[in-house]
């Protein structure tokens, strides 16, 4: 029997606790060896040292809402949401904040809003997404078209390395201290800098990218923290973040543009970008058909002549400037769009955007044999290639009998795809695997990336050599080895393991059995977006009832 780590927090290896952490928001069900909830950073250091001694993988985890499978695994799940030394400090004068990794985006923005400030990246999971998790995937959201992803808002990071050492990396300051930083400075950093020309040509030239390690960002900035951002807990476990905050604009307006052809999509986006929108969202025909087919939503959201709809948000401090921007945006869209609707007030804009949120309850209410799966769900391509990409996904999925629903952040060329396979149909898993490979070939051909904001996780790790080539993937491995030579931090995430990417799914006949009440409770979390719920409390509550 393996001795547990000597920590003040909880370490559990009973079947219910393990089952409660077997799933995240993505497609996987992987039963961990154990679950650990460290109480503070000292606990975390002890846990890492124990894991290194025992050669046991650690899987850092926040709310579990990441899609790519980086929050599940067969080692020890490290739940960072219960750390007792939580920190949330907002410095209004300098527009900065310091937070613990377990603080959520909503908690930070609630505190910042009292000073007229916010952290602009806004993933839809912001109500429960932890800031450590957002750093780990370089999260973004609809407003990335104007404000970018998490990376540019991070000033410093504190992390516990695989050597059990606490290290702080600060923007504009050469990294020092600790064995991992020494190895990085000696080996990985010089090799990456020598390959800067290859990196410049080999990385996708898209508006955002959360795939692989951000060697390109490091080459531009020289800041080691840019490599930690988006590394999904594979280089260290983030415990604290210092943020830049931004002023919150006082006024907001919206537009809704209907396009008769998907071929007009890129033209419409290029037309609206000079108006400095804060969001440009795409609702594809597949999305509109989902709404039209619903008894309750169909009458309110019927766009019979539209092949796609764009939702556009404008933010300004001055109402006259907002009105001027709205008029300009409308004038630029009218020659391209079939119809343009405007909303000048925040309340009217909210009503205009209600269509974007209407799909979630419909997808959640699908029968068990028609599950919504996020497999090819995060590709980002150059804006001028969006129409080609959408058409390709429609045709390739239809050829395999796999219904899809597509939407996304059109201002960045970033398209989300939800597959709706019939999980009772023989051979559906093979059809999904083939579609993933075929769509990836299309993404690479179009100059895109398989992940715009969700990270590679376990799902896309096997795709990276196809995207970047063997030389850059070799640099990824060198970086990983400098920070984690024993390979205990989230193995199989970003860098490929031997396991097929579509094994250990949470659906289908091959899904691992877990206690039925736990399975139902995890399904309810998925249906309702209840990721703020403590999984350990859930396991104990269900255990007390049985």
pLDDT digits (tens, 9 = 90+) for 96-125: 999 999 999 999 999 999 999 999 999 988
pTM above 0.85, yes or no: yes
| Residues 258, 283 contacting (CB under 8 angstroms) | no
Cα radius of gyration rounded to whole Å, the chain: 23
| Residues 396, 438 contacting (CB under 8 angstroms) | yes
| DSSP single-letter state for residue 223 | -
Report residue 313 as tokens.
Answer: 């948000």
| Residues 337, 273 contacting (CB under 8 angstroms) | no
| Residues 252, 325 contacting (CB under 8 angstroms) | no
d(CA 92, CA 316): 20
The band of 302, judged by pLDDT with boundaries at 50, 70 and 90, is low
Higher-confidence residue: 359 or 201? 201
The band of 360, judged by pLDDT with boundaries at 50, 70 and 90, is confident
pLDDT at 65 over 60: yes
d(CA 371, CA 423): 7
What pLDDT sits at residue 296? 52
pLDDT at 299 over 80: no
pLDDT at 85 over 80: no
Same fold, 251-364 and 368-452: yes
Predicted confidence (pLDDT) per residue in 41-54, tens digit:
999 999 999 999 99
| Residues 28, 505 contacting (CB under 8 angstroms) | yes
Report residue 477 as tokens.
Answer: 């491995």
Q: Are strands 246-247 and 339-343 parallel, antiparallel or unpaired?
A: unpaired
Domain spans of the chain?
10-83+496-545, 88-247, 251-364, 368-452
Classify 368-452 by CATH class.
alpha beta
We find that the CATH architecture of domain 251-364 is: 2-Layer Sandwich (3.30)
Q: How far apart are the first and last CA of the chain?
A: 27
We find that the CATH architecture of domain 88-247 is: 2-Layer Sandwich (3.30)
What pLDDT sits at residue 177? 87
What pLDDT sits at residue 126? 81
We find that the CATH architecture of domain 10-83+496-545 is: 2-Layer Sandwich (3.30)
Question: What is the chain's length?
Answer: 546
Predicted confidence (pLDDT) per residue in 217-247, tens digit:
999 999 999 999 999 999 999 999 999 999 9
d(CA 222, CA 236): 19
Which helix H or strand E contains 329, and what residues bound it?
A: helix 319-333
| DSSP single-letter state for residue 477 | H
Looking only at Cα atoms, what is the longest distance across the chain? 71
Which helix H or strand E contains 419, and what residues bound it?
A: strand 414-419
Q: Which residues pair with 405 in a beta bridge?
A: 418
What pLDDT sits at residue 258? 94
Helix (H/G/I), strand (E/B), else coil: 481: helix
What pLDDT sits at residue 295? 53
């Amino acid at each position: 029997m393996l001795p547990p780590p000597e920590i003040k927090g909880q370490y559990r290896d009973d079947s219910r606790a393990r089952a409660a952490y077997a799933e995240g928001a993505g497609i996987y069900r992987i039963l961990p060896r154990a679950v650990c909830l460290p109480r503070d950073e000292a606990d975390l250091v002890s846990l890492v040292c124990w894991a290194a001694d025992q050669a046991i993988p650690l899987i850092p985890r926040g709310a579990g809402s990441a899609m790519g499978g980086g929050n599940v695994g067969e080692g020890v799940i490290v739940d960072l949401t219960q750390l007792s030394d939580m920190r949330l400090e907002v410095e209004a004068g300098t527009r900065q904040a310091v937070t613990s990794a377990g603080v959520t985006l909503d908690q930070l923005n609630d505190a910042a809003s009292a000073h007229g400030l916010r952290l602009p990246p806004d993933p839809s999971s912001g109500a429960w997404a932890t800031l450590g998790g957002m750093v780990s995937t370089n999260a973004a959201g609809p407003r990335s078209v104007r404000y970018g992803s998490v990376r540019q808002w991070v000033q410093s990071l504190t992390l516990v390395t695989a050597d059990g050492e606490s290290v702080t990396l600060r923007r504009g300051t050469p990294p020092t201290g600790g064995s991992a930083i020494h190895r990085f400075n000696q080996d990985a950093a010089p090799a990456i800098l020598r390959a800067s020309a290859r990196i410049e040509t080999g990385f996708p030239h898209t508006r955002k990218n959360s795939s692989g390690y951000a060697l390109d960002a490091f080459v531009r900035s020289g800041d080691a923290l840019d490599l930690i951002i988006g590394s999904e807990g594979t280089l260290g476990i983030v415990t604290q973040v210092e943020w830049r905050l931004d002023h919150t604009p006082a006024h907001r307006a919206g537009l809704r543009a209907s396009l008769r052809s998907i071929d007009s999509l890129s033209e419409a986006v290029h037309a609206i970008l000079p108006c400095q929108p804060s969001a440009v969202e795409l609702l594809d025909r597949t999305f509109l058909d989902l709404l039209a087919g619903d008894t309750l939503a169909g009458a309110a959201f019927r766009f019979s002549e539209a092949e796609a709809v764009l939702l556009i948000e404008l933010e300004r401090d001055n109402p006259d400037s907002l009105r001027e921007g709205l008029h300009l945006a409308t004038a630029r869209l009218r020659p391209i769009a079939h119809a343009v609707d405007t909303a000048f007030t925040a309340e009217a804009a909210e009503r205009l955007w209600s269509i974007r949120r209407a799909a979630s309850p419909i997808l959640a209410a699908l029968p068990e044999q028609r599950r919504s799966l996020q497999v090819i769900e995060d590709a980002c391509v150059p804006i001028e290639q969006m129409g080609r990409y959408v058409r390709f996904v429609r045709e390739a999925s239809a050829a395999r009998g796999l219904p899809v629903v597509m939407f996304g952040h059109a201002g960045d060329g970033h398209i989300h795809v939800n597959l709706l396979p019939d999980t009772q149909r023989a051979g559906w898993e093979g059809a999904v695997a083939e579609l993933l490979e075929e769509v990836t070939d299309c993404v690479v051909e179009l100059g895109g990336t398989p992940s715009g904001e969700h990270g590679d996780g376990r799902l896309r790790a096997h795709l990276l050599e196809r995207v970047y080539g063997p030389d850059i993937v070799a640099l990824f491995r060198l970086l990983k080895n400098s920070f984690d030579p024993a390979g205990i931090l989230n193995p199989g995430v970003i860098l490929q393991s031997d396991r097929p990417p579509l094994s250990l799914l949470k659906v289908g006949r091959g899904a691992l059995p877990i206690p039925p009440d736990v399975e139902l409770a995890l399904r309810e979390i998925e249906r309702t977006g209840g990721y703020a719920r403590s999984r350990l409390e859930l396991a104990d509550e269900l255990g007390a009832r049985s």
